[in-house]
């Protein structure tokens, strides 16, 4: 009885966490080295997200942070375009999952001379 109650509690507690948006993969990947020019940024999550309430902020080698216009090619995906110059870049993402929870993270990548 006690075990069942504990197990039930664990399952209930685990369920909302499973719906958090977790980044599964991205392009560019964290730590990637790219060449300069226009780039398609793409982030894939494990759950559906509310693209309208999600945010992508890109900081370039000049230290300036730009909020990117977000496209949502799929319910679990965010996309954006950026023109990348040589140097270090940080892409910060914040997404609202359908369970109402916000998750955030950042990707760092480098643009190198060809």
Given the complex with Cu ion, which of 48 and 92 has the nearer CB atom? 48
Q: Which of 42, 44, 60, 99 touches Cu ion by CB under 5 A?
A: 99
Report the relative pairing of strands 23-27 and 49-59 from DSSP bridges: unpaired
- Asked whether position 48 contacts Cu ion by CB under 5 A, the answer is no
- Give ∠ CA 51-110-40 in degrees, rounded to 5: 35
Classify 10 in phi/psi space as left (phi over 0), alpha (psi -120 to 50) or beta: alpha
Q: Of the ranges 29-37, 54-62, 77-85, 95-103, which one interacts with Cu ion (CB under 5 A)?
A: 95-103
Q: For binding to Cu ion (CB under 5 A), which residues are involved?
A: 16, 19-20, 99, 101
């Amino acid at each position: 009885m006690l075990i069942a109650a504990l197990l039930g509690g664990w399952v209930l507690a685990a369920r909302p966490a499973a719906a958090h948006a977790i980044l599964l993969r991205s392009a560019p990947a964290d730590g990637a080295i790219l060449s300069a020019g226009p780039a398609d940024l793409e982030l894939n999550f494990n759950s559906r997200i509310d693209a309208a309430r999600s945010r992508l902020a890109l900081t370039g080698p000049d230290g300036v942070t730009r909020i990117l216009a977000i496209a949502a090619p799929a319910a679990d995906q965010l996309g954006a375009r950026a023109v990348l110059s040589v140097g270090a870049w940080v892409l910060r993402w914040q997404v609202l999952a359908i369970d109402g929870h916000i998750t955030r993270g950042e990707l760092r990548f480098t643009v190198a001379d060809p």
